[in-house]
Amino acid sequence: MRNVLTIDSVTKYYGRVRALNKVSLTIPAGCIYGILGPNGSGKTTLLGIIMDILKPTSGRYEFYEGETPNHQVRKRIGTLLETPNFYHYLSAERNLRIAAEIKGRGAEQIGEVLSKVNLYERRRSKFSTFSLGMKQRLAIASALLGDPDVLVFDEPVNGLDPEGIAEIRQLIKNLAGEGKTIIMASHLLDEVEKVCSHVAILKKGELLTAGKVDEVLANEDIVEVEARDIARLYEVMQGVNSTLRVYREDNSVILHFEQGAADTEAINKYCFDRNITLTSLILKNKSLESKFLEITK
């Protein structure tokens, strides 16, 4: 699969403050790539560099396996890097026409992109009458002008209510289904897990891990068990073979195994043979939240 973007040892200093430290990533075409990290981790700085808004202190990056960043390459990239900034007293349609004039392309696509973001029926409404989610969708419509191959979004659901988040999530999935590559920064682990095919985790400018979401997560089996006597259950679970670690969490006991090593039938029999009747036994996939907390602690 062809790579859309290759980042090689990019470092960025603001004075004496190091925002990024030798970050290297490869982003394949057609994926939804999440750049994940808490506030101050370097996500926005990294996006600013690849869009040539910021210059790296050292390191390099290239698009499309060899094409150096230039004006023609950036015409193939749509961006949403800030809070939507449109003329409040103008309609959605007029705001997009101005955006198309500034870009020098996309004027003939205004109706099409408004339909894609489900705003065509509101095309003549003033921007000031839009909800925050609608404003965000209009900003995405603006990014779609010119039919870019790649979309770069910085915190696309930041500040939205659950309905707005769901709308943007589905829109991103739809755009990816059209073959577009989407690079999005977020601090919302749940959204990245639901939307993204790939993820990179940053902390204080350091790249901690990167890869396909299922590969980043799928390195352990997690079994959650419950019984009426939780203290006795915890004591007995210490003797289960092949566990990586065992600990209590509220009214449950959590067992970690190497991937593929958990045998729920054997665990149930082990407890039964020791006069413990389990009230719950669940084989769980590791969530991105637990992985994130594990590697950033």
Report how far apart the first and last C-alpha atoms of the chain are (Å, whole number): 34
pLDDT in tens, 90-102: 999 999 999 999 8
Per-residue H/E/C for 119-178: CHHHCCCEHHHCCHHHHHHHHHHHHHCCCCCEEEEECCCCCCCHHHHHHHHHHHHHHHHC
Q: Decide: helix, strand or coil at residue 30.
A: coil
Strand partners, 79: 152
Q: Phi, psi at residue 246, to the nearest 5°?
A: -135, 135
Q: How confident is the model at residue 1 (pLDDT cuts 50, 70, 90)?
A: low
Q: How confident is the model at residue 285 (pLDDT cuts 50, 70, 90)?
A: low
286, pLDDT greater than 80: no
pLDDT at 81: 79
215, pLDDT greater than 90: no
pLDDT at 294: 63
Q: How confident is the model at residue 256 (pLDDT cuts 50, 70, 90)?
A: confident
Paired tokens of 239: 């003797």
Instruction: Record the pTM.
Output: 0.75
Q: Are 221 and 262 in contact (CB under 8 A)?
A: yes
pLDDT in tens, 11-32: 999 999 999 999 999 999 999 9
Q: For the chain, list the domains and their CATH numbers.
A: 3-216 (3.40.50.300), 219-296 (3.30.70.980)
